[in-house]
Structure formats: C-alpha cells, structure tokens
Amino acid sequence: MRRTTRAVTVQFAALGALALSVPAAGEEPGPPNEPTQSPESVQSNASARGRIIIADERIEGPAPGENGGLTAEAPLAAEPSIKARLVVSQFVDAPVAGDADNTLRYSGRADAYVQVGGSLFGLDDSWQLNLRPEFTWGETSNGAVGLIPNNTALFRPEGAGDFDLGVNVKKTWKDGTNLTLGKINSLDLVGTLPIVGSDGHYGFQNLGLAFPPTAVIPNTWIGALLELPRDDWIYRVWVYDPDSQYERTGFETAFESGVAFLGAATKIAQVGGKPGFYTVAVVGSTRTGPAVDILPSALTPPPNGNFGDGQGELALQLSAYQFLGLNPRARGKGWGIVARVQGSLGDPTFLDYSGYFGIAGNPAKRPQDRFGLAYFQYSVTDELVDDIAFRLGIEDEQGVEAFYTLGLGGSGGLKQGFEVTANVQVVDSAVTARDLGVIAGLRLTAGF
C-alpha cells in the first residue's frame, strides 16, 4: 500500500458530542476538590429532595474525568470566595507499527481552574466568576496514525497557538438550577461524564473516545448553558455561536455563522441496584455551508463540489453509562460500560455519524487506579468524501484504545500527587493510503 504524500493532521475543533451526554458540569471549576457521596446515596437524595448536582464521584481529591458521579447540592454561601487548581500533563508517544514515522515526541498541557465567588463583588456566592486559562507545548503526534487526533489534550484548530483563556459567569439557584453565560471549554463538561470521563488529562486519550466528534459543537464556545435537575432527570438547553472561539473572545464572530442549539435530557436510573445515566440529545444550527473555521485543510472541498450547499444542521445523539460494579471499600468507585452513538443529516455537517462502546473504571484492589478499553468509529459525510476523492481517499476510521492509570497520590485518588498512564491505540485510519497503525505512549499528570 502506498504512503500518502499529504500530511494529514486533523484538529477537530468542532468536536464535543460527548458534552451532550454530560449529566451536569459540576460546581467546582475544572477538577472538583470536595468529597462526594456514593452514587447510591445520592440517587436516594435526588429522588427525595429533587435537588441534585452532578460532580466527580472520586472521594478524595477527584480529578476531572474520573468516574463522574453525583453529589447532593453544595452549600452556596459557606464556600471560600476564591478557589484555584492547576492540572499539568506531560506526554511521550511514538508510532510503533504502520507506515508512520516512529519518532518519539514530547508534549504537554497545563490547565488552571479559578472560581471567584460573588461575595467578592458584593453579591452572594450563588454567583461565580470562572477563569479558564490553558497552555500547550511540544510536538503533537496528532495525525501521525489516524485522521482523528489521538491526543485530546493537544487538539485545536489548525494553525492555532498554544494559549487560550475562557471567562464565564455562573448563577446557581437553591433547587440546583444553574445558568452559565460566557466562554465555555467543552473539555470541562465531558470530563465529568460517569465512568468514561476523560478530558485530555485523565481517562481515554483518543478524541474518538474522550471527545467524540459531531462537527456541530465547537471545542470552545460562547453562549448560554442552562441546566435543570428535577428528581432523577436532568434537562439541559444550550444556545451558542457555532464558530470555535479558541483564541477569540466571541465578539469577533458574534454569531455571524448562525445560531446553534442543544436540547438534552438525562435519566438517572438504577439497574440491578447500580446507577446508570441515559441521555438523548438533539443538537443543530442555522449555519449555511460547512464549518470552514474548523474544517481540516485536508478535508476542504473544491469550490465546485457538491458538499457545502446545505443549510442548517441537525444531529441526534444517544448515550448510556451504566455501573456494573461498585467497590464497597471505596465509596463512589467502580466500573461499568460506556456507549454512545450520534448521527447527523450530513451536509453541511462534515461528519455523518460517530460512536463508541467499551468498559472503564477502577480496579477493586487499587481504587486509586483506573483502566479503560473501548472501540470507536466515525464517518466523514459521503458528499465530502466524493468531492475530495480525486486528491485524498477517505473511508470510515475505527480503532481501539486501552489504558491503565497508576495513581500515586492520596489514598482515594489524585488530590496533590501524580498519576502515570500507559496508553496504546490501534487505528485503521480514514486515509485509505495508510496501513493499520499502532501508537503507544506515557502520560504523567500532576494536580495541585
């Protein structure tokens, strides 16, 4: 099989379908710091009080993406006015099979999560000002094996820089209803997913699993997010600018490409005495033509092609995250199955479907560790595939990722310590000229 002469590094900035399946964003900025209740006890509280907030389930210093669970509503006025946390990850990886260059690459990412209570501004602490700076460095391996990035922490629009800042304001009411306005990082939302929860620093690393693509929701967006927890249901409504706001304030585009929306409902259920989270979501936009600001250059259609004539986007997404085992010696820890599928109407959306299924969780004898094994697949819209076939052959991309995380900090998980993750990905690239590839790497993550 001949090797393609065109370097294809795809940074899907319009990815974020998994954010639709997030039970809720949680109260802490980025990594939650406070102890949480077990899924069983919170499920009971939720039904009795009708007031729940989703957060990370790890008991001692949970990090983003670690088994997102449930916790009862946190006090709004008793918290400190300012909270800050820093998470830093360093990566080394290299292709070990296939036709890609087996160069060893080093890179890293640092995220700060700063939450300022409203009391600092003369309000009460039901108001929050959230600041989210992020910084990346080094050489990414994204695009070396598959079309979809294999390192979620380092994906961003092609040609973008290494620094971005998000700012938003959040108001939370006593019944748990909350409204967020401003610039929001989708990774902070997907990091709270139950069981699978991965945000680039923790959990799965391939974008197809950590942040499955829709090509409708940007990685960083500006708009409004409303969450309404009601008994064992959580309802969610988003209204946002469909353009990626990475390295932007949001005023540069000001909804010039249209308006995007999301409506989702999550059912919190008990199956066999163990909690599960089941979501249906509809997402779309009034965009005319493809998302040119985030469409990878390798997939840019010719001006006289058939793709890009459509107006309006619409996609349906279904997800299920079900615990199969809970650790009686480590409250809130366990393992379970994860599954998700989404399909769109196609043109002008450049992906028509994507999905994954697998298992993830904490080993019974070492609950501070994590493991995961999952299969993913996604498809580029047929009209776009046909338009670019003369220069680049494209088919469905599929792969398998396996990881194991060794927790070295704290008795129940990372609070102020380290985690070392070994990661292997086997990818059948969407680029037809590429052989089956394997990439292996290590990730060192520290939380402060």
pLDDT of the chain, 448 residues: tens digit per residue = 433 333 343 444 334 443 344 444 333 334 433 333 334 333 333 333 332 222 333 323 333 333 444 433 444 445 568 999 999 999 999 999 999 999 999 999 999 999 999 999 989 999 999 999 999 999 989 989 998 899 999 988 878 899 999 999 999 999 999 999 999 999 999 888 889 889 999 999 999 898 877 778 888 999 999 999 999 999 999 999 999 999 999 888 889 989 999 999 999 999 999 999 999 999 999 988 787 777 777 788 888 888 888 889 999 999 999 999 999 888 889 999 999 999 999 888 888 999 999 999 999 999 999 999 999 999 999 999 999 999 999 999 999 999 999 998 654 444 457 999 999 999 999 999 999 999 999 999 999 9
Closest CA to 419 of 407, 401, 434: 407
pLDDT digit string, tens, across residues 67-115: 444 433 444 445 568 999 999 999 999 999 999 999 999 999 999 999 9
CA distance 448 to 446: 7
Who's near 20: CB < 8 A, 6+ residues apart? 214, 217, 236, 262, 264, 279, 281, 283, 317, 319
Where along the chain do its domains lie?
17-447
Report the distance separating Cα 206 and Cα 211, nearest Å: 8
Instruction: From residue 379, give the alpha-carbon distance in Å to each of 185, 187, 262.
Output: 25, 22, 22
Fold of 17-447: Porin (2.40.160)
* Separation between Cα atoms, residue 319 and residue 22, nearest integer Å: 10
User: Token pair of 138, please?
Assistant: 């080094």
